[in-house]
């Protein structure tokens, strides 16, 4: 029997830095470890002492890929703490802005980061020569998401116009109508995306775990709702600490979490498992086409759930734009009155449930911040998936083990830069 160590240092095509370590002796698994090695960012310390009008701006910089999610969670937390309420118009505009990020992030992950594994290439770049129409479609859909965000918030990466209380600038309705038309035109591209991912086979592996996501009786939740768990039912977002239970582990700069069992999963598949009945009709059809059925316990299918959610986000955006065009948008007064206090904001970032909790003093200066990041909540689950997966594939060639583990980590679409407070596979020799 063979003895080997596998060490993948800084797993590629993920956001941030993480390692995978596998140590086997005589065909027996000694150790498999998921290590998060991203530099500590210390945002919670950096936010202290800042005025509420600067907090979203800084909190957005936690992550370049899900900056709209961090901005939205940050604004919700500030508003809850400061006693600021927002209008229905702001809620709709924020949901549309959020959809843009779900769309962009899922398209980026499914096409550019995960798909190269299925085509057997190292990146999306060689696909420009071999599968040009696929790359052009991905870029077109990404560009469309950027357009929505640019119209609503000035830009996609680190949105500008979203502020405590609403928006510093409202979108031009003519341009909003143009983006709505472009989304309708893009529905064919979403159909083609579903067709593409139908042809892709994912490894056959199942491990049931606890699934956690926000849930809102009014619709498939991204920017609203309470915390739902497949094991524990509903918990209000103010009690998020009782779900996340963060703890530090020595080999990781990211904190880990656990709730009712050894680990839980957040993200597109958790949301699908908990909220699939609320998907809009085209997304429901896409799930059927893609053969995704709840409950699904195969983490490799997170990417498939992302494709379904991208369809949902496009469909929901078309509806939101129609509604905004019907009602028009009105200028709203700036926030003038605030109170000191503590507040929690929660959203479903592309990678899962994201919590920001802030406390402010009477001058609107932040005195304490805590952020619980989706990828952090998945680290522990990735570790347990690896422990279940590796013994089953230990007899396979090392390259295949390495590739399968990298694909597993990538399926979670880990966003490691924001989780530190992620990816190398080290095969030890």
> Which residue ranges make up the site for another protein (CB under 8 A)?
10, 12-16, 39-46, 48-49, 51, 54, 57-58, 61-65, 67, 108, 112-113, 116, 122-125, 128, 136, 139-140, 142-143, 146, 153-158, 160-161, 163, 167-169, 248, 250, 253, 255, 417-418, 421
Q: Which is nearer to another protein, 64 or 340 (CB)?
A: 64
The answer to whether 6 touches 20, Cβ cutoff 8 Å, is yes
CB of 324 to another protein, least distance (A): 18
Long-range contacts of 159-163 (CB under 8 A, 24+ apart): 159/60, 159/67, 159/68, 159/71, 159/97, 162/56, 162/71, 162/72, 162/75, 162/94, 162/97, 163/53, 163/56, 163/75
Nearer to another protein, 143 or 260 (CB): 143
Nearest residue (CB) to another protein, 31 versus 54: 54
Cβ-based nearer residue to another protein, 168 or 392: 168
Whose CA is closest to 428, among 37, 9, 1? 9
Tell me the closest approach of the beta carbon of residue 384 to another protein, in angstroms: 21
Nearer to another protein, 204 or 362 (CB): 362
* End-to-end CA separation in angstroms for the chain: 14
Smallest gap from residue 413 Cβ to another protein (A): 12
> What is the DSSP code (8-state) at residue 429?
-
**Spatial CB neighbours of 36, under 8 Å, sequence gap ≥ 6:** 17, 18, 251, 252, 253, 254, 379, 416, 419, 420, 422, 423
Phi, psi of 229 (to 5 degrees): -130, 140
Q: What's the rounded Cα separation, in Å, for the pair 216 and 280? A: 14
CB of 295 to another protein, least distance (A): 32
- Distance of closest approach, residue 61 Cβ to another protein, in angstroms: 5
Going from the C-alpha of 185 to that of each of 47, 136, 180, 310, 318, the distances in angstroms are 42, 15, 9, 15, 11
Minimum distance, C-beta of residue 160 to another protein, in the bound complex (Å): 4
Residue (384 or 402) nearer to another protein, CB: 402
Cβ of residue 230: shortest distance to another protein, in angstroms?
29
Output DSSP code: residue 108.
I
- 122 vs 395, beta carbon nearer another protein: 122
Q: Which is nearer to another protein, 17 or 384 (CB)?
A: 17
Q: How far is the CB of 368 from another protein (least distance, A)?
A: 9
- Tokens representing 91? 């809620």
Token pair for 373: 């990041």
């Amino acid at each position: 029997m063979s003895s080997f160590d596998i060490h993948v240092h800084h797993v590629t095509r993920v956001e941030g830095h993480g390692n995978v370590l596998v140590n086997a002796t005589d065909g027996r698994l000694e150790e498999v470890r998921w290590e998060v090695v991203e530099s500590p960012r210390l945002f919670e310390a950096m936010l202290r002492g800042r005025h509420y009008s600067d907090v979203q701006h800084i909190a957005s910089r936690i992550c370049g890929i899900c900056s709209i999610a961090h901005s939205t969670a940050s604004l919700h937390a500030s508003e809850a703490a400061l006693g600021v309420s927002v209008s229905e118009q702001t809620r709709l505009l924020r949901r549309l802005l959020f959809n843009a990020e779900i769309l962009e992030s899922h398209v980026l992950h499914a096409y550019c980061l995960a798909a190269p594994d299925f085509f057997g290439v190292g990146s999306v770049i060689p696909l420009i020569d071999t599968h040009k129409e696929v790359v052009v479609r991905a870029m077109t859909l990404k560009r469309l998401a950027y357009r929505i965000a640019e119209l609503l918030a000035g830009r996609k990466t680190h949105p500008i116009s979203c502020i405590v209380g609403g928006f510093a600038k409202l979108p031009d309705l003519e341009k909003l109508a143009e983006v709505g038309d472009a989304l309708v035109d893009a529905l064919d591209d979403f159909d083609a995306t579903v067709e593409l991912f139908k042809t892709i086979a994912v490894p056959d592996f199942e491990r049931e775990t606890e699934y956690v996501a926000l849930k809102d009786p009014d619709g498939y939740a991204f920017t609203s709702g309470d915390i739902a768990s497949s094991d524990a039912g509903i918990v209000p977002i103010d009690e998020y600490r009782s779900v996340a239970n963060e703890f530090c582990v020595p080999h990781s700069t990211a904190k880990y979490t656990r709730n009712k069992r050894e680990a839980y999963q957040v993200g597109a598949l958790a949301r699908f498992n908990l909220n699939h009945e609320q998907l809009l009709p085209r997304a429901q059809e896409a799930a059927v086409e893609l053969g995704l059925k709840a409950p699904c316990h195969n983490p490799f299918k997170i990417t498939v759930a992302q494709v379904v959610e991208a369809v949902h986000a496009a469909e929901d955006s078309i509806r939101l734009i129609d509604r905004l065009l019907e009602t028009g948008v009105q200028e709203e007064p700036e926030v003038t009155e605030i109170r000191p206090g503590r507040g929690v904001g929660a959203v479903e970032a592309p990678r899962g449930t994201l919590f920001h909790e802030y406390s402010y003093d009477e001058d609107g200066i932040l005195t304490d911040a805590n952020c619980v990041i989706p990828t952090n909540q998945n680290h522990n689950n990735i570790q347990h998936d690896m422990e279940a997966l590796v013994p089953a594939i230990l007899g396979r060639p090392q390259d295949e083990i390495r590739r399968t583990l990298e694909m597993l980590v990538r399926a979670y679409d880990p966003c490691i830069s924001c989780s530190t407070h992620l990816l190398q596979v080290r095969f030890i020799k």
